[in-house]
Structure 1
Amino acid sequence: MPDMTPAPRRRPLWRLFIMPALLVVAAIGWSAFWFYAASEVGARADAWRAREAKSGRVYDCGKRSVAGYPFRLEVSCDDASVALVSQTAGAPSAFTARLSEIMVIAQIYQPNLLIADFKPPATIADRGQPPSMKVNWTTGRSSITGLPNNPQRASIVFDNPAIDRVNGPVQTPLAKAGHVELHGRIAEGSPQDHPVIETVLQIAGGTIQEVHPLLAQPFDADVQTKLSGLKDFSPKPWPERFREIQAAGGHVEIVRSRIQQGDLIAIAAGTLGLNANGRIDGELQMTVAGIEKVIPALGIEKMLEEGVPQATLDRVAPGVKSQDLNNLFGALDKAIPGLGKVVKQNANVGVAAGINSLGTAAELEGKKARAFPLRFVDGAVFFGPIKVAQLPPLF
């Protein structure tokens, strides 16, 4: 009997190539998209640089390259620099900051998140001069969330940052910290329409040299602020932006701040604004615990022993003449030998008592404290009745 089993039907071979063909088409399309996006990086960067240059901020890149195919864009800028012109009141001169390398990374599937890594060191120099400052760190990174023309949130973090003054081959430490973070976000409005900016600054183990012995000791800081009065984010010099804030009645609200240095703990909150002269006005309500322990570090006794400079008196006691004060101590010694020296040696006790008389008794984190206002009047800073600083105008 003949075999009647039908022969199996052959499937068309072309079906086997459908999936590989689709993958090839997708790969070609994806590659075209990636290379187009990579080509747009340079054009957009150049347009942004041109806008910033009109406001006195000139950015440059010694060598720019784009990599990261296929799933992300890695834009590398070697020998990056920024020259700032007319960014402070009455200061048309420029300074230039240079950085070894900046690497900016964006994932193709998440283009609204940009992450940047900063390679140390950085240098700062006046125009046409050798570097006067050098900045180092172990880790430096920033992130920006939002489209380039519509940023919503930004952060920058440094581990072990250190700033040194450079004088030829000699480097002198100016400031350093174990960790620094700065976060900012748009709390209200939009980048194009009256944005309100909220920021948080955190410093761990910070020290500052050449200002005051108190600042040379490690401190921690946590400060939250809210800035209002901006019209938009369009590029403009800082003095012009400060004028804009003043004209709009804007201000900086210190929502909360906490500084700790050993047993000294201080918190403050309040509002600071600008007057028509570009100087700071406002008031912060402070509560301080352990302030009596830092009085010896103020160096009042040593200052009196060596004679009080007139510049110091102008800052802390306007109207009092240095010669008059020194004559007073001499007269005390003539009347009762040694009395002037006793008064000088007990100056710290008197200052501590005077500070304790300011404000009202309070409690801070379980410790006895004093609460008092820190006033800003036309740029002058007053600690109770004592003028402690004079700040320059911002425009």
Structure 2
Amino acid sequence: MASSSRAGTSGVTRKLVRLAVAVVLVAVLYTGGWFYAASWLKDTLDRQLAASAQSLHSASCRNLSVRGFPFRIGLFCDAVDIDDRPTGLSATFGALRSAAQVYRPGHAVIELDGPAQVRVTPDLVFDADWDLLRASGTAWTNGLDRASVAYDGLKGRLNVPSEAVSLGLTAAHGEKHIRQSGDALDVAASFDALSLDLGDRVLPPLNVSADMTIADAATWISAEGPPAGAPLGANVELRRLSLDLGDGKVATLSGPLKVGDDGYLSGTLDLDIAGITVWRDRISEAFPEIAATAAQVAQAVEGLSKGGDRAVVKLNVQDGTVYLGLFPIAFIPPI
């Protein structure tokens, strides 16, 4: 009996020892594989970034490192610089942190610090900073499938001295989303408490959101990339563009649009506006130079609403000019 008991115990012990050895072996192999992959990734990126410095499209990631062991892998750098010489565009950003799960490398999360500056020759400069900016994306060998960006406490200013333009903006929160949807590209964006500083006046904050689909544009975020001249020639289904002043005073636009080869928009839009008199007063206060036009348009819309404070009207857009009936009421600059 004793001999049989010792034999059974010995068998269990051997199994536990084998299991422990197997666990240790797997851990060692995994650790070695992770650090090998991290080293290969860093070396590859270092070479590519160094090579880009000699090309027309360059990028740099200062003090690049790869971290995240054991279950994540991600890139970290102290600052990011981009220089696209053919377009005259350059940009600088603060520290970058990224991470992807080892078992799901195609999905990454990125945090980017400010301040940032984007410059376009000859004299366009956009300076921005934020409290938090986080992005995520899903990509495979055929390119990006979807991506999102969210930020809090955005502050920025666009300066173009040659055009006498100085525009500041702030937003409490904002989001942008893009995704492939069959052959089309879905795009959505929103701004909470968006306020614009025009230099001589500051517009009161409002909430803005947009949701649209661009036909035959899925390849714009794939490995193929957008065609030359995009978005010229694109067909857009504007599902909803909403401007919200609060207290139910909301104006929304929806309908099909086409971007002409010259960048001007054409199409037909439905305008659903609530709080006609409030919108008239806000526009008149912000842009006193067009107060008379705002009053005339409000009067026409009120007539279509049969005296109410809400109306649904049809707008025609022809080469950037917006018509209410036969009367031009606004102009949209080319894209």
Bigger Cα displacement from structure 2, 383-392 vs 12-21: 12-21
Kindly name which structure, 1 or 2, has the bigger radius of gyration based on alpha carbons: 1
Paired AA for residue 254 in structure 1: L
* Secondary structure at the counterpart of residue 114 of structure 2: strand
- Structure 1 unaligned regions, length at least 5: 87-91, 189-194, 304-315, 317-346
What TM-score, normalized to structure 1?
0.68
User: Could you say which residue in structure 1 is the equivalent of 2:304?
Assistant: 360
Once the two structures are TM-superposed, the CA of residue 61 in structure 1 deviates from its matched residue by 1.5
Superposition pairs of residues 366-381 of structure 1, within 5 angstroms: 368-381=309-322
Paired AA for residue 183 in structure 1: H
User: Deviation string for 1:212-256 (max 9, x for gaps)?
Assistant: 95x71110122211111327224557753335xx2xxx4111112
Say whether residues 1:180 and 2:174 are aligned partners: yes
1:84–1:187 Cα change, 3 Å:
same
* Secondary structure at the counterpart of residue 370 of structure 1: strand
1:173–1:388 Cα change, 3 Å:
closer
Say whether residues 1:139 and 2:132 are aligned partners: yes
Q: Is the 8 A contact 2:49 2:59 kept in 1?
A: yes
* Secondary structure at the counterpart of residue 38 of structure 1: helix
Paired AA for residue 376 in structure 1: V
What TM-score, normalized to structure 2?
0.79
Say whether residues 1:241 and 2:230 are aligned partners: yes
The separation in 2 between residues aligned to 1:206 and 1:174, in whole angstroms, is 11
Superposition pairs of residues 1-395 of structure 1, within 5 angstroms: 9=6, 11=10, 17-42=17-42, 45=45, 58-85=58-85, 92=87, 94-126=88-120, 132-147=125-140, 149-164=142-157, 174-188=168-182, 195-210=183-198, 216-230=203-217, 232=219, 233-234=222-223, 239-243=228-232, 246=233, 250-262=234-246, 264-296=249-281, 297-298=283-284, 303=289, 348=292, 352-358=295-301, 360-361=304-305, 368-382=309-323, 385-392=327-334, 394=335
The separation in 2 between residues aligned to 1:380 and 1:126, in whole angstroms, is 28
The separation in 1 between residues aligned to 2:96 and 2:286, in whole angstroms, is 47
User: Deviation string for 1:245-281 (max 9, x for gaps)?
Assistant: x2xxx41111123211145310110111122334322
Once the two structures are TM-superposed, the CA of residue 154 in structure 1 deviates from its matched residue by 1.4
- Structure 2 unaligned regions, length at least 5: 161-165
Once the two structures are TM-superposed, the CA of residue 35 in structure 1 deviates from its matched residue by 2.1
Q: Is the 8 A contact 1:200 1:225 kept in 2?
A: yes
The separation in 2 between residues aligned to 1:7 and 1:45, in whole angstroms, is 61
* Secondary structure at the counterpart of residue 240 of structure 1: coil
The separation in 2 between residues aligned to 1:106 and 1:34, in whole angstroms, is 13
1:47–1:186 Cα change, 3 Å:
farther
The separation in 2 between residues aligned to 1:378 and 1:44, in whole angstroms, is 48
Q: Is the 8 A contact 1:287 1:362 kept in 2?
A: no
The separation in 2 between residues aligned to 1:231 and 1:52, in whole angstroms, is 27
Paired AA for residue 225 in structure 1: M
Once the two structures are TM-superposed, the CA of residue 70 in structure 1 deviates from its matched residue by 1.2
Which structure is higher in RCO with an 8 Å CA cutoff and minimum separation 6? 1
User: Could you say which residue in structure 1 is the equivalent of 2:163?
Assistant: none
Bigger Cα displacement from structure 2, 198-207 vs 234-243: 234-243
Paired AA for residue 281 in structure 1: S
User: Deviation string for 1:115-168 (max 9, x for gaps)?
Assistant: 111112212234698x9432111111011134353433211100111103589x
Once the two structures are TM-superposed, the CA of residue 287 in structure 1 deviates from its matched residue by 1.5
